[in-house]
Structure 1
Amino acid sequence: MPAAFIAFRPAHADIPPEVNIDTVVADVSDDGVSAPTADVPGLVAVVDRAREEGIKLSVVVLKDNPGRDSQLRDIATEVGKHEGGTVLVLSPNWVGTYSDALSRVSVEDAQDKAYTGNAVDSANQFLDEVVRPEAPYGLITVGLVVIVGGAAAATWFVRSRRIESGRES
């Protein structure tokens, strides 16, 4: 097959060999969490809080970093295919996400704020960012249009008055 055709094939998920997706999915389906035992109670509380906010959140915590940070997103995507909702995957130094309910922009913005090194704190920060209300950009735009339009009308009015007063002299 020509190399040009190979370049356009979608990449397969790159799951680290030490991660068994079937085991992770089975663990997540129970309480929304697949993590070391010490982190489970705190993470279950975050998952429950997310549910109260109307978000189906699953959290996966790896004990070690995989070979590449992109593998966390692949893990999140695979778990998301099975569980749906939003998936947060944490390792000691990296974060990966997937969501079929939230915009990629919102999820990645929240992901950027979830680097704490503590799984429960990271999950809480992620959720806080996801549920934070966004600025009312529609109202801001309308307000700016009204202000600019008003300034243009006022300028036109003042200029037309000056022109008329110049004719009268």
Structure 2
Amino acid sequence: MSPEPIVVGRVGTSVTHLAEPEDPAATTTPAAPGEDPASSNTGGTTVVGIPYGASVPAGVDIEKIRKDLLTTGVSGPADQVSQLKEVVAHAKSKGHDIKIVVLTEKQPKFTYYRDVAIELQSSTGGNVLVLGPNSVGSQGPDFSRVDQEEAAANNLTLTNPPQAARQMVDYLDGPTLDWTAITLVLMVVVFIGAVIARILGRRRAQDGDKSSATPAPRKDTADEASNGAERDSVESPVDAS
């Protein structure tokens, strides 16, 4: 089965990724009008899948999580809420509006975490971090996508979500490379190098033209000098006698 593009996100900020091929026996068909989109019947077996037109798993209660984020800024197991709030407060002291979600169920695709973050951020604002047992996803205006992906791959302690969230916030708030400035510097260096190479090439060409324009010694002048030397050698013994 060829991959199909899936687009999620708010209007004007769409995100596209390719869906991975799935087992045909477990593929969810689009829900018919009036049918519960969270499940469909395939071959007499009820399959819980993804609502048509979205890549957020049906098992994730987006509306409940959204309400939690708007109320407290965090959503997760009750025994982790206080620690998650401390991370949110820490991020706020750094000037960042961070909202944290902890999913206790392992998602079958790592991209689902990012999709959940995108779906939530469109209505909650701020920077949304979604942590799970096997991956992390995020969405927000304060940090570039490159920085967010690098932070997610920074050996986070996912077995301890509050600690992983703190690690991610600290990484994102830390010093990062300004790739725009680096690119501009490299372009200037390449341009200067090209100009210097051009100047040196022209000088070499001019030196070659000068050396080719220098006249060679006349042959008759060289012959006269040789004949004069021979006459001197002949006359010398006569004078001596």
TM-score interval, normalised by the smaller of the two chains: 0.7 to 0.9
Q: Does 1:144 align with 2:171?
A: no
Does structure 1 conserve the Cα–Cα contact (< 8 Å) formed by 2:66 and 2:120?
yes
Report matched runs for 1:1-169 at 5 Å: 10=7, 11-17=53-59, 19-113=60-154, 115-117=156-158, 118-131=160-173, 132-135=175-178, 136-149=181-194, 151-153=196-198, 155-156=200-201, 158-160=203-205, 162-163=207-208, 166-167=211-212, 169=214
Instruction: Summarize the Cα distance change of 1:121–1:154 in structure 2 as closer, same or farther, 3 Å threshold.
Output: farther
- Spell out, residue by residue over 1:91-127, the C-alpha distance to the aligned partner (whole angstroms, 9 max, x if none): 1111122225543333223222264222133223322
What's the CA shift for 1:57?
Answer: 1.5
Q: Percent identity?
A: 28
Structure 1 Cα separation of the partners of residues 140 and 197 of structure 2: 45
Q: What are structure 1's unaligned runs of at least 5 residues?
A: 1-6
Q: Secondary structure at the match of 1:66?
A: coil
Q: Secondary structure at the match of 2:176?
A: coil
What's the CA shift for 1:61?
Answer: 0.7
Aligned-residue CA RMSD in angstroms? 3.0
* Alignment correspondent of 2:44: none
Match for 2:76: what amino acid?
Answer: A
Instruction: Summarize the Cα distance change of 1:80–1:9 in structure 2 as closer, same or farther, 3 Å threshold.
Output: closer
Structure 2 Cα separation of the partners of residues 81 and 114 of structure 1: 28
What's the CA shift for 1:60?
Answer: 0.4
Structure 1 Cα separation of the partners of residues 208 and 82 of structure 2: 76
Match for 2:130: what amino acid?
Answer: V
Q: Secondary structure at the match of 1:97?
A: strand
Larger RCO (alpha carbons 8 Å, 6+ apart): 1
Which has the higher Rg, Structure 1 or Structure 2? 2
Structure 1 runs, 4 residues or longer, greater than 4 Å off: 7-10
Does structure 2 conserve the Cα–Cα contact (< 8 Å) formed by 1:72 and 1:95?
yes
Does structure 2 conserve the Cα–Cα contact (< 8 Å) formed by 1:25 and 1:83?
yes
Structure 2 Cα separation of the partners of residues 8 and 133 of structure 1: 32
Instruction: Summarize the Cα distance change of 1:139–1:8 in structure 2 as closer, same or farther, 3 Å threshold.
Output: closer
TM-score of the pair, normalised by structure 1 = 0.73
Structure that is richer in helix per residue: 1
- Spell out, residue by residue over 1:54-111, the C-alpha distance to the aligned partner (whole angstroms, 9 max, x if none): 3322110122213433332232122212211221111111112222554333322322
Instruction: Summarize the Cα distance change of 1:139–1:45 in structure 2 as closer, same or farther, 3 Å threshold.
Output: farther
Match for 1:112: what amino acid?
Answer: A
Match for 2:186: what amino acid?
Answer: T
